Amino acid sequence: MKRTLLTLLMAGPLVLAQGGDDDGPGRGVARLSLMNGDVSVRRGDSGDWVAAAINAPLMVEDRVLTGGGSRSEVQFDYFHRLRLAEDSEVRLSELEYRKYQIQIARGTVTLSALKGGDAQIELSTPGAAVRPLAHGQYRVTVRTDGAVEITVRKGEAEVFTPSGSEKLKPGKTMVVRLTGEGSQF
C-alpha cells in the first residue's frame, strides 16, 4: 500500500507537467490579445455575435470584426500576431499546431511573424492568397473596389492568384485586381 501511494505521489507531478503545453499539437485556439473600440466576435459554432473581450479564446470558424475607429489583435502563438485596423473582418478558417489560415473579408490586417516561429500561415482574400516565407511584417488590404493590396514591410512572401504566383520582396507592394478573365497583378 505504501509503495503504491509513493508511486502515485511521484508520478502525479510528471502527469501534470505534461498537460501544461498550451502550444502543443492539437491546440486549435487563438486569443484576442488587444482591442480598442468596438470589436465583435461571431462564434463559428453558434453564429452568435458577441462583444469581444481581451484574452477571449478564438476557435476555428470564428470571425473578428472591428468597427470604425477600432483596432484589435489576434495572437496565434508567441511568434505570430494579426492586427486588424478599423472596419476590418477576418475569419479563422484553420487553427492547427503551427498551421494557420485567415480569410480576410474586408479591411486591413498586418501579420507580424517573429524570428524563431516556423508556422505555415496563409492570408486568404477574394483575389489572392499570401504565404509568408520568412519572419517579418505583412500588410494586406481588401479594398472596397475588390482589389487586394499586399505589402511586405520585412520578410518575403509568395502571392498566389488564379493567374499565377509571384514572390514579393521587402519594401514592395502588389495590387491584385479581379477582372473578367481572372486576376491581374
Q: What is the pLDDT of residues 8-29, one digit of tens each?
A: 444 444 433 444 444 445 558 9
Three-state DSSP at 159 gives strand
In terms of residue numbers, what domain contains 77? Answer: 27-179
Residue 15 is assigned to a structural domain of this protein = no
**pLDDT(178) > 70:** yes
Residue 11 is assigned to a structural domain of this protein = no
**Per-residue pLDDT, 82:** 98
**Per-residue pLDDT, 52:** 95
Q: How far apart are CA 81 and CA 33, in angstroms?
A: 9
**Average pLDDT value for the chain:** 87
Q: Are 90 and 118 in contact (CB under 8 A)?
A: no
Report the half-sphere exposure of 176 (CA within 13 A, side-chain side).
25
Tell me the pLDDT band of 183, cut-offs 50, 70 and 90: low
Residue 22 is assigned to a structural domain of this protein = no
Residue 5 is assigned to a structural domain of this protein = no
